[in-house]
């Protein structure tokens, strides 16, 4: 994922401003939701047309809402344990976003008190990403090319780090974050905010990032993914002017990869990568190969994926058999699908002691 809001170019720990929930969470006993027949398919979370967080089985036959009320959920994401589901919600379009954690083990969703220094960022939070170890939660906000990132404790909402980034990727152990770090040039570039982009990494709790690759007027670096085998995959953009931005460093096509702990760092062409958006679109039927096809998430066994597509009231959630191909199955109306991870796929009926929340 390449993301890009104005802000400090170094990681900082800052004084905090509390953003409190606009109203308490209401609780209701929901109907039970059994998992899929094979017991291993997990659940799919998504946002329904009314803006409510909803869970369904991958066949779309058994569905219930997690939230009720007038607010809207704008982002969601599963922790790697498959038991905690975080979501961002707001009571009005111009209201500060709030973060809530839903625990599938039976506890009601809890809205956390965020400690954000910038009210504009609080109103523009649009994405969240758990660290692989579940100890940190990254919130992505802002409207500019560099994103304003806030890393928080998912248990308390306390801020652990803030930074401005052009692209980001969690390390496999969940304790480091790679990001594209801007640094000013004597003569600004005529793109973005004019900064060069370094490839940098920061350890959560340490305010000093480490620069892995130094950007320049011609060379811009943005992370793409940090793989389980330790490879940090990144894009190297060779920029020669406003009419010519190429992803071809020298004569060799990208993306590239490094091992951040190597000394010296040795960039290598990246191969054998997980399917990216282009590969996913190429495998889908032709009618889905367009910008309306959005968020995609893999099943626990990596044999299928769920994605959203369409526009307006016609936007829907589809499940696609990656191995066999064919026509995707429409399982619901809505957006932002996320498949429950493999590590803790639900192995018992869900919802016996669970509760709903008002977002």
- Predicted confidence band at 15 (pLDDT cuts at 50, 70, 90)? very low
CA angle 338-342-343, nearest 5°?
120
Task: Report which of 72, 24, 138, 109 is spatially closest to residue 335, judged by C-alpha positions.
Answer: 72
Q: What is the pLDDT of residues 68-107, one digit of tens each?
A: 877 899 999 999 999 999 999 988 888 888 999 998 876 6
Q: What is the pLDDT of residues 54-79, one digit of tens each?
A: 999 999 999 999 988 778 999 999 99
For tokens 């707001």, what's the residue?
Answer: 90
Intra-chain end-to-end CA distance of the chain, in Å: 27
Of residues 8 and 312, more confidence is placed in 312
* Alpha carbons 199 and 167: distance in angstroms, whole number: 10
Q: What is the pLDDT of residues 270-328, one digit of tens each?
A: 988 888 888 999 999 999 999 999 989 999 988 999 999 998 878 999 999 999 999 99
Task: Report which of 219, 202, 222 is spatially closest to residue 211, judged by C-alpha positions.
Answer: 202
Task: Report which of 193, 201, 172 is spatially closest to residue 10, judged by C-alpha positions.
Answer: 201
Task: Report which of 133, 88, 143, 167 is spatially closest to residue 359, judged by C-alpha positions.
Answer: 88
Q: What is the pLDDT of residues 25-58, one digit of tens each?
A: 333 334 344 444 344 578 999 999 999 999 999 9
Give the chain's domains with CATH numbers: 18-170+277-339 (2.120.10)
Q: For the chain, how big is the Rg over CA atoms in Å?
A: 21
- Which residues neighbour 264 within 8 Å (Cβ) at sequence distance 6 or greater? none
Tokens of 50: 């009314």
User: What mean pLDDT do residues 171-180 have?
Assistant: 97
The rounded mean pLDDT for the chain is 81
pTM metric for this prediction: 0.81
pLDDT score of 341 more than 60: yes
pLDDT at 343: 62
pLDDT at 346: 39
């Amino acid at each position: 994922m390449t993301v890009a809001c104005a802000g400090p170019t170094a990681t900082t720990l800052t004084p905090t401003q509390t953003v409190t929930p606009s109203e308490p969470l209401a609780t209701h006993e929901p109907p039970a939701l059994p998992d899929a027949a094979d017991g291993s398919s997990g659940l799919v979370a998504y946002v329904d047309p009314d803006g409510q967080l909803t869970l369904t089985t991958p066949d779309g036959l058994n569905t219930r809402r997690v939230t009720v009320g007038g607010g809207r959920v704008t982002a969601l994401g599963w922790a790697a344990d498959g038991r905690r589901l975080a979501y961002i919600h707001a009571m009005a379009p111009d209201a500060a976003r709030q973060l809530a954690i839903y625990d599938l083990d039976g506890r009601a969703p809890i809205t956390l008190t965020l400690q954000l220094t910038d009210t504009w960022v609080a109103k523009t939070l649009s994405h969240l990403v758990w660290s692989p170890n579940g100890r940190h939660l990254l919130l992505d906000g802002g409207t500019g090319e560099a994103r304003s990132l806030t890393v928080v404790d998912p248990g308390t909402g306390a801020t652990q780090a803030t930074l401005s980034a052009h692209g980001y990727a969690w390390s496999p152990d969940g304790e480091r974050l790679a990001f594209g770090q801007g640094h000013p040039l004597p003569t600004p570039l005529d793109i973005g905010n004019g900064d060069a982009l370094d490839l940098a990494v920061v350890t959560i709790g340490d305010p000093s990032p480490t620069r892995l690759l130094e950007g320049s007027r011609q060379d811009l670096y943005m992370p793409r993914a940090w793989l389980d085998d330790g490879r940090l995959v990144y894009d190297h953009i060779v920029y020669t002017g406003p009419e010519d931005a190429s992803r071809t460093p020298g004569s060799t096509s990208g993306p590239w990869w490094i091992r951040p702990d190597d000394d010296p760092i040795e960039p290598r062409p990246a191969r054998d990568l997980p399917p990216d958006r282009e590969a996913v679109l190429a495998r889908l039927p032709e009618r889905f190969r367009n910008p309306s096809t959005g968020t995609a998430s893999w099943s626990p066994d990596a044999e299928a994926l769920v994605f959203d597509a369409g526009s307006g009231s016609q936007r829907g959630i589809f499940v696609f058999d990656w191995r066999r191909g064919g026509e995707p199955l429409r399982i619901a109306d809505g957006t932002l699908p996320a498949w429950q991870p493999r590590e803790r796929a639900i192995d018992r009926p869900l919802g016996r002691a669970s509760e709903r929340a008002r977002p």
